[in-house]
A and B are shown apart, each in its own frame.
With several copies, the nearest count.
Chain A
Amino acid sequence: MRTMTSEEAMTEGLAEEMRRDAAVLTFGEGTATKGYKLVGEFGPHRVRNTPLAEGIIAGTAAGAAATGLRPVIDLLFAPFMTFAMEELVNSAGKLRYISGGQFSFPLVTISRTGAGWAVGGQHNHNVEAWFVHAPGLKVVMPSTPADFKGLMKSAIRDDNPVIFFADIGLLHTPGEVPEGEYVVPIGKAAVRREGSDVTLISYAKTVQRCLDAAGVLAERGVSAEVIDLRSLKPIDEETILASVKKTGRAVVVHEASLTGGVGAEVAAIVAQKAFGALKAPVMRVAGPDAPPPASYPLEQAFVPSVERIVEAASLTN
């Protein structure tokens, strides 16, 4: 199979959807500059640079979505979304419900986060849990180039606002991406490795760390199953619960800060709905409750390590 980076895969997904549907357009700070190839193919009206103003970028997307377009907006880095919370949460997320179903908001936001570029806590801040806890939104955060493409396509086709997080640490790593039409459904997790003793549940860059941890655990005779959530809202309860009911043990892993992270939701689901099967405490391995530091070694230390995952999995035994 051909390989490409996640960045390329995401762009390919966007370009294919723009080809398929004239209602799709994309804009953001530098979107046309960086996407000059898209400008070439789709013209300057469908690929636009904007002023430096996240609020109006998101608001424009919401207003356009409610009246027939399908905007894909690039908000650059996740912490900049703080300037667009009103438009994403109060408008895109709620106005369908508030209006009694009169409008829908088919839009996609892209933003980057996570360790990798040592850019510090105002560029790197994993806030996916906020959007999981906001009504009317969907949230995805892929870990492979194929999923970057397949989820981007699904996100664009979805009639609801989809918040698409790109893990900085994954953007430039190449991986296999199927040729032709390739769509990954929102709401469906992937079992990346099968196992029978413990379930490691993760998403984005820490999926690979879970896989590495599973390798280490295998050497110690522990068979770990690894689940890549991919979609954080809706979350694939079925896959999570089926696995934990089988293994009886769960470790949830993510880079976002521990307290109030998506891992809490996963742990809570497991503790309620797979309780009978649980043989051990539900463990969480996550970033500390601190902003990610810029200093490279510290930034790396922010991310759950293979050792910490192995240790947590061992504690469940």
Chain B
Amino acid sequence: MTTMELAVDRSVTEALESMLLIRTFEEKSAALQAAGQSPTMCTSVGQEASAVGVIRALGANDLILTNHRSAGHLLARGADPGKIMAEIQGKATGYCGGKSGSLHISAKELGVVLTSTIVGGELSLVTGVGLSLQMSGTDGIAAVFFGDGAATEGIFHESVNLATVWNLPILYVCENNQWQAFVHRKETMLTDHISEWAKGYGIESRTVDGNDVEAVYAAAREAVEYIRKTGKPYFLETYTYRLRGHMEPDDQAYVDKNELASWKTKDPIGAYEAKLLDRGAVTRDELDAMRERATQTVERAAKFAAESPYPSFDQLTADVYA
């Protein structure tokens, strides 16, 4: 095996492990919620390839903005599962000291600057982050994750247009998961692809199969290189599907059973495992070991969160002003 192949190999298993960690983490969070041991949260089950593929293409100094469905982005970036779980539960040891809860977790230390649960909030903020990067003269870029629903907010239009006119180094990542809370995307637009909207602004854009982690990674790599080279923004749509409900608990009674079933066959993790087994890149035993590691990690995180204290009451009025 050449060094090159080895590198690819490691990258491949890392991507899979990252996806497994996200899945395990989110299913555990949901289970805790169902058991009355955690507040509600949104999961990204089914969308792991989008998070992992894009984030692995970013550099250490690049900045990330995300939204209410952020655990995947955070974990892919190497966040501490315990600190996320603690934050979800409103504990003092969470990334935001428990003040965010699950919906607006940012982690400056990881370059996850600014998270908003206002749908579209991330789009309004990213242009400013891009502006800072532009003015600083570094070659850093800002990647912003948002949904197909966010794309129907007016601020989407304002953000993409400004980034294009001002040549801001921004990677727009539209995770088109077919759902906007309880409304199917098809009820909200005539186009299937948000990248169709992007075209009008004159921004470089592309839609990629969001359930294929290697395809997402390749597309994101290309996008990141383009941005670094030209200083211009890039619009990447990852076409995927939200396999669980909008927010825990959600019986998905409003979801078309056939559509859901058909997308379940395209589960990014199952598909990737099959592909890697097929290629001989992993063995069943290695897979089992990976799952076991993910489970261990998540159990430790859950324990950490459960044992963490709530913030003290003086936190109620702390950090309002700088």
Q: Which A residues are within 8 Å of any B CB, using their own CB?
A: 25, 29-30, 33-34, 36, 45, 48-56, 58-69, 71, 79-80, 82-83, 86-87, 90-91, 95-106, 117-123, 135-136, 138, 159-160, 288-291, 293-299, 301-302
Closest 9 CB pairs of A and B: A63-B128, A59-B124, A294-B101, A295-B90, A100-B97, A64-B128, A56-B158, A101-B319, A295-B98
Report the contact-size class of chain B (Cβ under 8 Å from the partner): 35 or more
Please give the distance in Å from B69's CB to the nearest CB on chain A: 14
From A82, A91, A296, give the contact of B90 (CB < 8 A).
A296
* Contact flag A295-B91 (CB < 8 Å), given A103-B108, A118-B101, A120-B101: yes
* Contacting residues of chain B (71-110) with chain A, CB-CB under 8 angstroms: 90-91, 94-104, 106-108
Q: Is A29's CB under 8 angstroms from B180's CB?
A: yes
Chain B residues within 8 Å of A82, by CB: 118
Give the interface segment out of B145-153, B219-227, B291-299.
B145-153
Whether a CB of chain A sits under 8 angstroms from the CB of B317 is yes
What is the CA–CA distance of A55 and B316 in the complex, to the nearest angstrom? 29
Please, how many angstroms separate the alpha-carbon atoms of A91 and B120 in the complex? Answer: 11
CA of A204 to CA of B118 in the docked complex: distance in angstroms?
24
Contacts A95-B114, A102-B106 known; A51 to B322 CB distance under 8 Å?
A: no
In the bound complex, do residue B320 and residue A69 qualify as a contact, i.e. CB atoms below 8 Å apart?
A: no
B162 is contacted by which of A56, A91, A289, A291 (Cβ under 8 Å)? A56
Encode B147-168 as 1/0 by CB contact (under 8 A) with A.
Answer: 0011011110011011001100
Please state if A53 and B183 are interface contacts (CB–CB under 8 Å): no
Known: A63-B126, A86-B121. A97 touches B189 (CB 8 A): no
Bound: A274/B119 CA distance, A: 45
Chain A residues in 8 Å Cβ range of B318? 101
A83 surroundings in chain B (CB, below 8 A): 118, 120, 153-155
List, in ascending order, chain B residues with CB within 8 A of A288's CB: 316-317
> For residue A58, which residues in chain B have a CB less than 8 angstroms away from its CB?
124
Distance of A277 from chain B, by nearest CB (Å): 29
Decide if B155 touches A56 in the complex (CB within 8 Å).
Answer: yes
Q: Is B315 an interface residue (CB 8 A)?
A: yes
Instruction: Decide: B116 and A159 in contact? CB cutoff 8 A.
Output: no
Whether the Cβ atoms of A55 and B155 lie closer than 8 Å is yes
Asked if B243 is at the interface (CB within 8 A of a chain A CB), the reply is no
Chain B min CB distance to A85 (Å): 11
CB pair A91–B116 under 8 Å, yes or no, is yes
B150 nearest in chain A by CB position: A52
* Interface segment out of the listed B4-12, B52-60, B129-137, B270-278: B129-137
